[in-house]
Amino acid sequence: MGRAAPLRHHPQPRRQPGLRRRPPPLHRPQPGQGAGQAHARRVPPPLRRHRADRRRHRVRRRALERPADHPAADPDRRVSALRVRVHRDRCLATAACVYTAPGVFDVGDDAVVAVVGDPDSDPEAVRNAVAECPVAALELVED
């Protein structure tokens, strides 16, 4: 039998301190990129937030202009004993609830179910819709 060759350790080359093998996780401008090239970094325009604030105030103004017979105008008036909470993060917009209780639920443009009708109009259908939701995105809250 022959002798096996001795094992040799091949040391890895040492990296200099402070050097990385991959680029940094945050986007940084490359050398030579000036302030005029900010569009390459996708900096949002400052007016975008201002426009969103204007829309929010418009909605508040509409709420203040509600007629006196609107259900939200009288806080003492009980509107519904049956409430449905939609968990938007779970909803897959399968529309099972829309088929079960079409007057109460509807799928919006954002592909999320919304409560558009009075849940007390057909409480049995609403309970069935909550039970049939395949991802449990609907929760029944009884007052």
The pLDDT mean for the chain works out to: 71
| Domain of 108, in residue numbers | 78-142
Task: Give a yes or no: residue 2 inside a domain.
Answer: no
Instruction: Please write the tens of the pLDDT for every residue from 97-140.
Output: 899 998 899 888 888 888 888 888 888 999 999 999 999 899 98
Task: Give a yes or no: residue 13 inside a domain.
Answer: no
Task: Give a yes or no: residue 103 inside a domain.
Answer: yes
Task: Give a yes or no: residue 127 inside a domain.
Answer: yes
Among the listed residues 64, 70, 66, 110, the one whose alpha carbon sits nearest the alpha carbon of residue 86? 110
Task: Give a yes or no: residue 88 inside a domain.
Answer: yes
pLDDT band at 40 (very low <50, low <70, confident <90, very high): very low
Considering its fold, how many domains does the chain have in total? 1
Mean pLDDT of 72-96: 75
Task: Give a yes or no: residue 138 inside a domain.
Answer: yes
Q: What is the CATH number of the domain that holds 94?
A: 3.30.70.20
Among the listed residues 103, 104, 101, 107, the one whose alpha carbon sits nearest the alpha carbon of residue 129? 101
